[in-house]
Amino acid sequence: MSETAELVAVLRAAGETTRLRLLALLADGEQSVKDLTEILGQSQPRVSRHLKLLADAGLVRRNAEGAWAYYGLADEGAGSDLARWLVGRLGEADPERQRDRLRLAAVRAAQQAQAAASFAKVADSWDLLRSLHVAEEAVEVAILGAVDGRPIDTLIDLGTGTGRMLELLAGHYRRGVGIDSSREMIAVARSKLAAAGIGHAQVRLGDIADLEPATGRGELIVIHQVLHYFDDPGRLLGQARQALRPGGEMLIVDFAPHGLEFLRTHHAHRRLGLSEAQMAGWARAAGLSVAAFSSFPPTNATEGLTVCLWRLRDDPRDQH
Ligand SMILES: C[S@@+](CC[C@H](N)C(=O)[O-])C[C@H]1O[C@@H](n2cnc3c(N)ncnc32)[C@H](O)[C@@H]1O
């Protein structure tokens, strides 16, 4: 194909109302086809066809994950530049864009409510659940190793659940802050920390996808088994970085890619694990770099999940 023909094909792909709406939605973060279908109010085959055209033209990228597929704006190349330019031209105040954003917020709110209901049910038994078939003990040893000898004034634990990370690392920080959106989890965390005599950590109800400025900043941010509940973990990393002091570090613990679809259908997971390549891309976009990576195979090799630990360092070249 000549360059002219190629350019015409790309412009054709972008030059359609639904496809422009899709580009604008993807500019706000990675989305699943399932959610995009709901937001646009069109049939799934139709939305998939639009997305395929955008992907073939290099404007978006596709990432298949179990029975779902996630889309985002292309990361590089002429298609990426054009997609971002078009979305910029669309502007924030465009009425159609605002309507789509409201629909996206409603879809996310419904998912959050479902996730919160599922966390409320397991709050009391979470500490038992969290250690099932995963090498939790080895992961905790590695987490302790990662913080050893580092002066940490403030540690922020995002999605603190029952506060296990605040408890594990209690000897390493001056002040600990745990945030979680589940009242039930927060209640368990509070009483557990009190029982353990950990008075220098506090837990608060809050949405980590929309961190309050009052959260402050920490030298260390922990996100332990939380990112897979988000459609766009990269976006959350960007948010979390706002709460990181310059030169600080994030410890991310999550599952390696897996195929256990029931975790999505029955346990509110959104992503079936996170790959090293995905994390490297999300970290870069958030102004962080991967300083270390380790993985821990399941204790029961036939049915468990591999757990990964990433140490992400604030990139001082990327200004806060
Ligand atoms: C699987 S638990 C992990 C808890 C803890 N980090 C641990 O590993 O024991 C995930 C936690 O993330 C919390 N969570 C999910 N979405 C959240 C959000 N948007 N804001 C705050 N917390 C959230 C849930 O309420 C839940 O307690």
Average pLDDT over residues 81-86: 93
The secondary structure of 253-283 as a DSSP string is EEEPS---THHHHHH---SS---HHHHHHHH
Q: How confident is the model at residue 143 (pLDDT cuts 50, 70, 90)?
A: very high
In the predicted structure, residue 3 carries a pLDDT above the cut 90: no
d(CA 298, CA 213): 38
Query: Do you know the residue count of the chain?
Result: 320
Average pLDDT over residues 154-174: 96
- CATH 1.10.287.1080 is the classification of domain 125-314: no
Give yes or no for a contact between 221 and 244, defined as CB atoms under 8 angstroms apart.
yes
pLDDT of residue 183: 86
In the predicted structure, residue 123 carries a pLDDT above the cut 80: no
The response to whether residue 208 sits with its C-beta less than 6 Å from ligand 1 reads: yes
Q: How confident is the model at residue 125 (pLDDT cuts 50, 70, 90)?
A: low
* Consecutive H or E run containing 317: none
Q: Encode pLDDT of 202-225 as tens digits.
A: 999 999 999 988 889 999 999 999
Burial class of residue 45, CB neighbours in 10 A (0-12, 13-18, 19+): exposed
Least confident of 120-129, 183-192, 242-251: 120-129
Q: Which of the listed residues 122, 212, 226, 263 should we mutate to test ligand 1's pocket, taking the one with most ligand atoms within 8 A of CB?
A: 226
The response to whether residue 235 sits with its C-beta less than 6 Å from ligand 1 reads: no
Q: Which of the listed residues 136, 155, 182 should we mutate to test ligand 1's pocket, taking the one with most ligand atoms within 8 A of CB?
A: 182
Q: Beta strand pairing status for 31-32 and 68-73?
A: antiparallel
The reply to whether domains 3-91 and 125-314 share a CATH topology is: no
Residue whose CA is at the smallest distance from ligand 1 atom 19: 207
The response to whether residue 207 sits with its C-beta less than 6 Å from ligand 1 reads: yes
User: Which residues are CB-contacts of 111 (< 8 A; sequence separation ≥ 6)?
Assistant: 268, 270
Q: Beta strand pairing status for 218-224 and 152-158?
A: parallel
Residue 285, token pair as written in the block: 């976009």
d(CA 275, CA 272): 10
Residue 157, token pair as written in the block: 């634990």
Domain-wise residue ranges, the chain: 3-91, 125-314
Average pLDDT over residues 19-30: 92
pLDDT of residue 319: 63
pLDDT of residue 298: 83
pTM (two decimals): 0.82
CATH code, residues 3-91:
1.10.10.10
